[in-house]
Amino acid sequence: MTAQIDQVIRSGCRVWRATGNFNHSKLITIDGAWSYVGSSNMDPRSLRLNFELDIEIYCRETSRTVANLIDQEIEHAEAVNLDELASIPFRKRLRNRIIWLASPYL
């Protein structure tokens, strides 16, 4: 998960790592009207091979609900920053990048 996350942060995105139980859901809302709720990852395997379910919703009320769910998750999550990523030992960062390269085949 962390192999490429530094590039996401450098591009201006903020990233949080959830604490607690594993949650595979994906939530996004844009402009207070459009929402996306699903389980697919943005990779070829998830989008083409896995049995995933995603839905796009154009509804302001649903968008507010999704935004509130995202805010609740962030309240209990830990922010990820570049200093934290740089403190990961080199061998572990190298391992993560090698695994990331092999991920289309895993």
Tell me: the pLDDT tens digits for 64-88? 999 999 999 999 999 999 998 889 8
Per-residue b/e over 36-59, b at no fewer than 16 CB within 10 Å?
A: ebbebeeeeebeeeeeeeeeeeee
Per-residue confidence (pLDDT) for residue 18, from 0 to 100: 87
Euclidean distance between CA atoms 64 and 31, whole angstroms: 10
> CB of 59 within 8 A of CB of 35?
yes
**Which amino acid belongs to residue 53?**
L
Per-residue confidence (pLDDT) for residue 104, from 0 to 100: 67
Per-residue confidence (pLDDT) for residue 106, from 0 to 100: 63
Q: Sketch the domain layout of the chain as residue ranges.
A: 1-18+78-106, 20-76
Q: State which residues of the chain have pLDDT below 50.
A: none
